[in-house]
Structure 1
Amino acid sequence: MNFQIEQSDTHSKARAGEITTAHGKIQTPIFMPVGTVASVKSVHQRELRDDIKAQIILGNTYHLYLRPGIEILNKAGGLHKFMNWDLPILTDSGGFQVYSLSDRRKVSEEGVRFKSHIDGSYHMFSPEYSMEIQRNIGADIIMAFDELTGIPAQYKDAKRAMNVTHRWLERCKTWLNENPSLYGYEQTLYPIVQGNSFHDLRKESAEYIANFGAEGNAIGGLSVGEPEDVMYEITDLVTEILPKEKPRYLMGVGTPWNILECIALGIDQFDCVMPTRNARNGMLFTWNGVMNMKNAKWKDDFTPLDELGTSYVDSEYSKAYVRHLFISDEYLGKQIASVHNLAFYLDLVRTARKHILDGDFTQWKNQVVPKLRQRL
C-alpha cells in the first residue's frame, strides 16, 4: 500500500491524499460503506460502484467467519470474487463485535471466547486466528485484533485493555510474517489506538502505535456513546502523535458533521453503519439537514426527494412517494433511503476533498456544519 498527501489545509489538520492498493486507488478523505456480511444492506454492488461511487467498502470479520465461513470464502478466491466487488476492501478484526457481546464473551490473554449470536455455539478468537480469517477473506486492508472498553470505564480496565491490545498487535504481526498472502497480493495491517477517554493512556497507545511502523493506523474505542466533545478531544490528541505521512482511520464515526469535524482533525478514513441504519428508519441526510420521511409534512410534497442529491433516486422519486413507502412499510422505501444516504456521504467527503484542494476547507466546513445538523 502507498499513501500520498496531495494538499494540506492551512487552518486545520485536514489533508487530501490518495491511497494505492492492489484493487485500486482511494482518494481521501473517504467514507467506507459497511458491508457486514458481504453486502451493504439494501444496496446492489452495481449501485455502490456506479451511482454511489464508493471507492472502498468494509467487511466484518466476525460475521463473515460465522456466515458463510472462511472455507467458502477461500474456495471462492476471497471476498472480492465472492461478492463480485473489484475495488478495495477493508475488514475489521471482529474485536468490536466481540465487545458488543458483553454477556456472551470472556477475555483472556489468549484471546476472546464468545457465544455466537446465531446459534449460541462457542468460538475462540485469538490475534492469530483473526489474522487467519482475514487472510482468507482477502481484504486489502486488515485490522489488528484489539480489546476496547466502553466509555465511561474504570482507569484500570482501560489500561489493561490497552496493554492487551499492544501485546496482541505483536502477535498479529508475527503470524502475518509467518503466513504469506493467499490470493497473489499483499494485505496491509492497521494497528489500533486504544485507551478509552483517558488522555495519558491515549497518548501512550498512540506513541506505541506510531513506533510500530505500520503503513496506516486506526483509532478505536470512540463513537461508543461518549459526548461529541470527548470524541474530538481524543481524536485531536491522537492525530498529533500518529505519523502525518500515514493514513489515519477513525473507526465507527459517524454523523456528517462528525466526519467534517474529524477531517479537520486529520482523519483520512471513516466507516459507520449510520447512513444505512438511519435510512431504514426513514432518516435522510442532506446538505440542508436531516429529513424524517415519516413526517406528515411530506405527504403531498411532490418535489424531488433531494434537489441537491447526486443519486438517481434523488431525482426519480418524490418526497411524497418515499413517505408513502415508509408509511406503508414497503421495503423499497428503505432501499431508496439507503442509496440516497450513502450517495450523500460519498458526496460529502468528495466535496470536503475539493475544498481542501481549493484551500478554503475550514471556512466552508464552518458554514456547512450548522446546516447539516438541522432537523427538517
Structure 2
Amino acid sequence: MYRLLTTDGRAKRGELDTVHGKIQTPVFMNVGTVAAIKGAVSTVDLKEIGTQVELSNTYHLHVRPGDKVVKALGGLHRFMDWDRPILTDSGGFQVFSLTSLRKIKEEGVYFQSHIDGHRIFMGPEESMQIQSNLASTIAMAFDECAPYPATREYMTQSVDRTTRWLARCKKEMARLNSLEDTINPHQLLFGINQGGTYGDIRIEHAKRIREMDLDGYALGGLAVGETHEEMYRIIEETVPYLPQDKPTYLMGVGTPANILEAVDRGVDFFDCVYPSRNGRHGHVYTNHGKLNLFNAKYELDDRPIEEGCQCPTCRHYSRA
C-alpha cells in the first residue's frame, strides 16, 4: 500500500509498504545491475549510506548467472545478502538497445546474448517469470523502449503493443504470485508509460494504463537523447494523468538537478548509474558543486570531500 503523507504543489512525500520493508519517498535507488554495485560497494556500505532500495536488471541476471540459479539459491535477497526492497527492471531497455541483434514480434522479442551470441526470446510472460525467480520486491512490466527520435506512426504502434504487453504482464504476475513454490508471492508490479516526446500519446497512454490498477507507474523512454527541457515538459504534461495515490517512477534519471525538477513535477522514485559511475572516475557532488578528485590541486588536500558531511567517505577519507 502507498500512502501519500504530504504534498507541496505537485511534489509529494509518500510511503510504500512492501514485504521487505517501508520505502520513504522521494527515493533514489542505487543501481546494482548484476546484484552488486560496481566499485566494490558492499551491501553493508549501502546500508551505511541510507540506501532504501537496490535496483538490479532482469536481462543481465537472466543471461548470467541465470535467474533459475538465483531462485535455487533462495532469491535475489539471499543471493546478494540484502534484506531491504529490490526493484528489478524488466530487461526491456537492454533488449531494445541491442538494435542489430533483436527482432520484435507481437509475442515478444527475439535477440542474441551480448555475451556469447546465443538466441534468446523474451516476452511479457518470460520477463515476469524471470523476475518471479529473482523474487524482487517490485517487478517492472515488459515494454518497448522506442528509439529516439521515432515517427508518430511508429510510436503509436509501439505504445499500443506496450499496452497489450502490460495486460499480459499483469495476468502472468497474478498467476506466478499464486504458485506454491514462488519465493515472493507479494511481488508488486509497476507499469511503464511510453510515448517519446509526443505529449498527446503519453497522456493517452497514461489514461489507458491507470485503469489497470497497478502497484505503481513509471515514465520510461526518457533521457535517451531529448533535451532536458523536452523531458521536463513530458513529465509536466504526463504525471497529472497517472494515479496520484500510487508511486511515480522516472526511469534512468538521476542527476541532482534532474531529481529536483522531477520531484517538483510529482515524481517520487528515481534510479541512475550516475553516482557510482561518476564516483569510479573521481567525480563527486557537494553542496558547492561537482569536484573532480583526479585534479592535481587535490593531491595534498587533507580536507574531507564535503565539510561537515557525516557519510562514511567524508568521515574517513580526504580529498587527496
TM-score interval (norm. to shorter): over 0.9
Cα deviation, residue 308, structure 1: 4.1
Aligned to 2:205: 205
Aligned to 2:191: 191
1:54 to 44, 51, 55: 51
Aligned to 2:250: 250
Q: Is the 8 A contact 1:148 1:162 kept in 2?
A: no
Relative distance call for 1:315 and 1:177 in structure 2 (3 A) is: closer
Relative distance call for 1:63 and 1:13 in structure 2 (3 A) is: same
Opposite residue 149 of structure 2, the aligned amino acid is P
Inter-partner Cα distance in structure 2 for 1:273 and 1:214: 26
Q: Unpaired runs of 5+ in structure 1?
A: 321-376
Cα deviation, residue 299, structure 1: 2.3
Aligned to 1:219: 219
Aligned length: 316
Inter-partner Cα distance in structure 2 for 1:83 and 1:247: 26
Q: Is the 8 A contact 2:303 2:318 kept in 1?
A: yes
Inter-partner Cα distance in structure 1 for 2:234 and 2:241: 11
CA deviation map 1:222-254 (0-9, x unaligned):
011211011111111111100111111110012
Which secondary structure state, in structure 2, belongs to the residue aligned with residue 240 of structure 1?
Answer: helix
| Correspondence 1:90-239 to 2 at 5 A | 90-179=87-176, 180=178, 182-239=182-239
Relative distance call for 1:74 and 1:292 in structure 2 (3 A) is: same
- The CA RMSD over aligned residues, in Å, is 1.2
Q: Unpaired runs of 5+ in structure 2?
A: none
2:42 to 28, 44, 48: 44
Structure 2 residue 16 is the aligned partner of structure 1 residue 19: yes
| Correspondence 1:77-92 to 2 at 5 A | 77-92=74-89
Aligned to 1:260: 260
Structure 2 residue 310 is the aligned partner of structure 1 residue 313: no
Question: By percentage of residues, which structure has more strand?
Answer: 2
Which secondary structure state, in structure 2, belongs to the residue aligned with residue 161 of structure 1?
Answer: helix
Opposite residue 303 of structure 1, the aligned amino acid is R
Which secondary structure state, in structure 2, belongs to the residue aligned with residue 114 of structure 1?
Answer: strand
Aligned to 2:240: 240
Which secondary structure state, in structure 1, belongs to the residue aligned with residue 211 of structure 2?
Answer: helix
Opposite residue 300 of structure 2, the aligned amino acid is D
Tell me which of the two structures has the higher relative contact order, counting C-alpha pairs closer than 8 angstroms and 6 or more residues apart.
1
Structure 1 runs of 4+ aligned residues shifted over 2 Å read 177-181
Inter-partner Cα distance in structure 1 for 2:89 and 2:125: 14
Opposite residue 291 of structure 1, the aligned amino acid is L
Q: Is the 8 A contact 1:249 1:270 kept in 2?
A: yes
Q: Is the 8 A contact 2:132 2:184 kept in 1?
A: no
Question: TM-score with structure 1 length normalisation?
Answer: 0.82
Question: By percentage of residues, which structure has more helix?
Answer: 1
Q: Is the 8 A contact 2:49 2:312 kept in 1?
A: no
Cα deviation, residue 121, structure 1: 1.1
Cα deviation, residue 282, structure 1: 1.6
Cα deviation, residue 78, structure 1: 0.8
Q: Is the 8 A contact 2:43 2:81 kept in 1?
A: yes
Opposite residue 64 of structure 1, the aligned amino acid is L
Question: TM-score with structure 2 length normalisation?
Answer: 0.96
**Structure 1 residues 71-80 or 20-29, which shifts more?**
71-80
